Amino acid sequence: MKPLLAISCFVLIVLSTAFVVHADIPKPKPSQKSGNTTIFSSLEIVPDPKANNAKLQIHQSDLKALRAALDGQSTNTTLATSISHSGPRTIVAGVLLFLSLSFGGVWLARTSRSGATLNRGQKTVAVLLVTAATLGAAAIITRGNAGPPPAYRWKNLPTALAAGESTAGPVMIEVIPDDPNTGTGMVLTIPLKKKNAQGDDE
Amino acid sequence: MQDALDLKPTTWRSTLEAGTTTRLRVFAATLVLCVLASAAFASWIPLPVSIITVFLFAGPHNWFELRYFLMRLPVRFGRSRNFFITAFAGLAVLTCTYFSLPLIYRLSPNSNEWWLTVIAVWNTLFLGWLAVLVWLRSKQKPRSNWTWFLPLTFALCAFNWFSPDFFSLALVYVHPLVALWFLDRHLKRTRPTWVRTYRRCLALLPVVLVLMVWQLQQTTSLPESNGLFWRITQHSGAELLPNVSSHLLVSVHLFLEMLHYGVWLLALPLLGSVVTRSSSGKVWDWKSVPLARHPKGFPKLVGFALGFGVIMVALLWVGFSIDYSTTRDIYFTLAIAHVLAEAPFLLKMI
C-alpha cells in the first residue's frame, strides 16, 4: 500500500509541476500560411555551351502535381512525399513502432531465456521486425532531422557553372498568383550567400 | 481368385507409387504451366484480360470459397466458440464499416488528411481483429509460441499510420497470395507428400515477378481514356505510384489475381474430389458439406447459402453485362467480406 501511495504522490507532484511549467509557456505564434501551393521536387542546372536557348525540362509527375495544384487538389503524389506528412499520424506511428520494438525485445528476451531455439518462421519475423524498425526509425529521423539544409547543395553553384559542370539540388515549385507589377516570367531563386575576403560565407 | 492371391504386395506398392508419382508430376507441370500462362497473358494485354478475368471468375471463385469455408465450419464450435464468435463479429463490423467508407468520404470535409486518418483507423481495426484471432488461436495450441505476432502487429500498425494508402495497396497485392497459403495448408492435410514439390514450384513465383518487373518497367503507362480503364489502373495503385508504369502495376496485380482464381476454381476443387474419391464429393452436391450432412447439422441453411450464392453469381454476370464499371465497383466493395473471411479459416488450418 505504501509504495502505491508514494507513487501516487510522486505522479501528483509531477503533474502539478507540469501544469505550472505549462502555464509559463507563451502562446505559440500563429503559423504564417500563405495561400500559395508548394511542390517539393529537385532541379539540376546544366550549363551547355552547345545549346542555343535556355530549356526547362519537367518530369511528367511534376507536371501532374502542378496541374493538381492548379485544380486545388493534393499534390503529394510521389512515393517519398506520400509518406506521412501529418504530425498526428507520425506520432501515432512512432508510438506503435516503439510498442513493436518493446514487445519484440521482450519476446526475444523470453525466447532466449527459456532456452528455446527460434524456428525458421520466428527468425523470419525477427528479421522483418528489425527491418521495419530500422526503416521506421530512419523515416522518423529523416523527418525529424533532414540532414544538411537545402541550400547546402547550391553552395558550389557558381564554381560549378564556371567550370561548366552541372549542379543538382532540391527545389520548391511555388505557384503564385499573377501580378501585373512583377511580370509574367518565371523566377528561380538560388540560396547563395555572399562570400567575404577569406572565402567564408557571410 | 487365384490370380488375386498370386499378386505380390511389392507389385501393388510399386504400382501405387508409380501412380502417385505420375499424379504429382502432372500437378507440378500444371502448376508451372498456370503460373507461366498467367504471367504471359497478364503482361501481354493486361486491360482486356483483366476485364474478362473479373467478368468470368470473380463471382464463381467467391462461391467456391463460400463452399470451402462451409466445409471447414464445425457443426458445434466447442472449444473454438470464442474464436468463431470473434471472427464473425469482427467480420460483420469490419465489412459494415468498409461499406460505409464511401458515405464517410462524401460527408467528410474536403481534406485528404482526414480521409487518410479514417482509412488508417479502419486498417488498425482490421489488424487488431487479426491479432485477437491469432491470440485466441494460440491458446488452442499451447505448444507453439505465437507471441511474435504482437510486435509484428504493432509494426504493421506503425507502417499503416505512416502511409495508410500504401498499406491498403499492400493488402490489394497480398490478398491473392493468401490463396496459395490455403493450398499449402490443404496439401499438408490431404497430400503431405506433395507439399515439397508444391513449395518448389512456388519458388518460381518471385522469379516470374522479377522478370515481369524487368520487362515491363520501361513500358508506357496504360491508357486511361475511359472510366473503366482508369478504375483498373487506380485499383492497381497507379495514382499512388505515378513514377511506375501502370502497365507493370496492372500486369502484376492481374497475374496474382489469376493465380488466386486458379487456386479457388481449379486446384482446391480438383484436389478435393481427388482426395475424397466419392461421388458425394462433387462441388454441386451441397449434402457433401459436413455441416449439412451431420445429424445435428443445418442442411437447409447450407442449401440456402449455396443456392443464394449461385443466384448472386448469376446476378453479377448480368450486372457486368449491363454496366461493367459500376458492377465492378460494387463487386470490389462487397468483396472485402471474402478477404476478411479468409483470415479466421486460414488460422484454423495452421
Neighbours of B344 (CB within 10 A): 24
Nearest CA in chain B to A104: B151
Question: What's residue A123's pLDDT?
Answer: 72
Contact A136 B159 (CB under 8 A): yes
Counting residues of chain A whose pLDDT is more than 90, the rounded percentage is 0
More confident residue, B235 or A65: B235
Which pLDDT band, with edges at 50, 70 and 90, does A30 fall under?
very low
Question: What's residue B251's pLDDT?
Answer: 93
Q: Extract the C-alpha cell encoding A139.
A: 523515416
Neighbours of A193 (CB within 10 A): 11
pTM of full prediction above 0.90: no
**Does A130 lie at the interface with B, CB-CB under 8 angstroms?**
no
Ranges of each domain in chain A: 87-144
The residue whose grid cell reads 482508369 is B230
Name which of B116, B120, B242 is nearest A64 (Cβ-Cβ).
B242
Hey, is A41 helix, strand or coil?
strand
Contact B155 A122 (CB under 8 A): no
Taking the C-alpha atoms of residue B288 and residue B280, their distance in angstroms, rounded to an integer, is 5
Q: Extract the C-alpha cell encoding A93.
A: 506511428
| ipTM for the whole complex | 0.72
Contact A132 B166 (CB under 8 A): no
Contact A125 B148 (CB under 8 A): yes
Question: What's residue A6's pLDDT?
Answer: 63
How far does the CA of residue A29 sit from the closest CA of chain B (Å)? 23
Question: What's residue B77's pLDDT?
Answer: 82
Q: Which residues of A touch B157 (CB under 8 A)?
A: 93, 96, 100
Question: Between vectors from CA B164 to CA B346 and to CA B340, what angle results, nearest 5°?
Answer: 20
Mean per-residue pLDDT for B145-158?
Answer: 86
In order, the DSSP letters of B253-315 are HHHHHHHHHHIIIIIHHHHHHHHH-SGGG-TT-GGGSHHHHSTTS-HHHHHHHHHHHHHHHHH
Which of B123, B134, B147, B148 would best serve as a mutation to test chain A binding (most A beta carbons within 10 A)?
Answer: B148
Amino acid at residue number B109: P
**Whole-number mean pLDDT of chain A?**
67
Could you report the per-residue pLDDT of B102-124, keeping only the tens digit for each? 888 777 766 677 888 889 999 99
Residue among B30, B42, B32 nearest B212 (CA): B42
**Does A41 lie at the interface with B, CB-CB under 8 angstroms?**
no
Question: What's residue B19's pLDDT?
Answer: 66
A vs B, Cβ pairs < 8 A, gives 100
Name which of A74, A99, A122 is nearest B112 (Cβ-Cβ).
A74
